[in-house]
């Protein structure tokens, strides 16, 4: 279950969107497939590389069809074992960077590392 866009961790159920799905785990990759509980046509996939490495944070790519607005989307995601401090440094990491754009131009695809 994924709770998206909530204001505080103690009331995470009070959120904008809830998704339910399943995980397929492999040595080098984890895929998470989910469906929005309120708008079932909105299905998303999250792919996380290097899932075999033991680290506190991992980068992933969230992609699928968004219902608001109705269009294909792809978003960088940061997964953490602990609650992260929401500061400017974290916000910078989550935004598409100049390096992300350089790699997009080089490979003609978005890559998250």
| Structure tokens given for 57 | 């944070």
- Is it the case that residue 69 has pLDDT exceeding 70? yes
**HSE of 1, CA atoms in CB hemisphere, 13 A:** 7
Higher-scoring residue by pLDDT: 112, 8: 8
pLDDT of residue 51: 64
Q: Where are the domains of the chain?
A: 17-82+90-107
Q: What is the pTM of this model?
A: 0.81
Tell me the pLDDT tens digit for each residue of 73-83. Answer: 888 899 998 88
- Is it the case that residue 112 has pLDDT exceeding 80? no
pLDDT of residue 102: 93
CB 50 within 8 A of CB 44: no
pLDDT of residue 61: 92
pLDDT of residue 109: 87
């Amino acid at each position: 279950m994924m709770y998206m866009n909530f204001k505080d961790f103690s009331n995470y159920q009070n959120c904008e969107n809830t998704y339910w799905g399943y995980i397929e785990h492999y040595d080098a990759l984890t895929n998470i497939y989910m469906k929005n509980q309120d708008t079932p046509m909105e299905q998303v996939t999250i792919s996380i590389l290097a899932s075999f490495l033991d680290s506190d944070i991992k980068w992933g790519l969230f992609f699928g069809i968004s219902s608001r607005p109705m269009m294909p989307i792809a978003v960088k995601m940061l997964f953490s074992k602990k609650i992260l401090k929401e500061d400017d440094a974290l916000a910078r990491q989550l935004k598409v960077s100049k390096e992300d754009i350089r790699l997009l131009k080089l490979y003609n695809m978005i890559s998250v590392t």
